[in-house]
Amino acid sequence: MENKCFRKFCRGIVRAIVKIFYRVEYTGEKYPEEGPYVICPNHLSILDIVFVILHSKKRWVYFMAKSELYKRKLSAWFLDKMGAFPVRRGQSDVRSIKRAVTLIQEGKLVCIFPQGTRQKGDKILPPRRGVAMLSALTGAEVIPVFIERKAKIHKKTKVYVGKPVNTGLDRNSSKEEIANKSVELMDIVYNLPEVYRDK
């Protein structure tokens, strides 16, 4: 069961902490006020999901979290209250996909890190097919997000938010089409700083 008051309280606390210790600057678009969307950010640190959530003052962002975080009852309870749902990485997790599809069909914002794990070093990880597949299954547009650098205390981190992308995919799209679109979406994400350079 959703606890909106608890989420608002937690978001307020986290927003205050981030404001004190991290200099986050958002550039680009705001999240749409209504409608289903898949948020597609690159992944550098555990704080990335916090930055994605805090960009929205009214709407809540639901997100996948690795199943390892659910081994402890307290963290599992907290993640559940915060709108997260577990995903088993490295395998086809039908339950998590169904959960994401249901949320999108209910008109929610759902965040999925397309690379599946955090990037270590300068090597850009290739995207998996999750974001494009969800778009194909639901018809939802994708919001690209680029996080400029790994969050460090008292260092500025720029977060670029792009315009929603219509993938043109549907349930009849082939695996090849979904894979190609996944690469295209990742290119859009990494090109956001150039798009919003002078804005």
Phi/psi at 119 (nearest 5 deg)?
A: -75, 135
Q: Given the DSSP bridges, would you call strands 141-147 and 156-161 parallel, antiparallel or unpaired?
A: antiparallel
CA-CA-CA-CA torsion sign (109, 75, 22, 152): negative
DSSP 3-state of 12: helix
The torsion angles phi and psi of 59, rounded to 5 degrees, stand at -85, 150
Look up tokens 């997000």; give the residue: 145
CA 65 to chain centre: 10
Which pLDDT value is given to residue 168?
A: 97
Q: Does residue 19 contact residue 51 with C-beta atoms inside 8 Å?
A: no
Torsion angle of the four alpha carbons 149, 140, 83, 150, in this order, in degrees rounded to the nearest 10: 0
The answer to whether the predicted template modeling score (pTM) of the entire model surpasses 0.85 is yes
> Under 8 Å CB-to-CB from 170, ≥6 apart: which residues?
136, 139
* 84 neighbors 104 (Cβ within 8 angstroms): no
Domain of 175: which CATH number? Answer: 3.40.1130.10
State how far the Cα of 98 lies from the Cα of 79, in Å rounded to an integer: 18
Tens-digit pLDDT profile for the chain (199 aa)?
567 788 888 888 888 998 889 889 999 999 999 999 999 999 988 889 999 999 998 899 999 888 888 888 888 888 888 888 888 876 667 888 999 999 999 999 999 999 877 787 777 888 889 999 999 999 999 999 999 987 778 788 999 999 999 999 999 999 999 999 999 999 999 999 999 987 6
Strands 84-87, 109-111: pairing kind: unpaired
At residue 71, the pLDDT reads 83
pLDDT of residue 158: 93
pLDDT, position 91: 66
Domain extent at residue 117:
4-195
Asked if 82 and 61 count as a contact pair (C-beta separation under 8 A), the reply is: no
- Number of separate domains in the chain: 1
Let me know: does 31 contact 109? Beta carbons within 8 Å: yes
Cβ within 8 Å of residue 124, ≥6 positions away: 42, 190
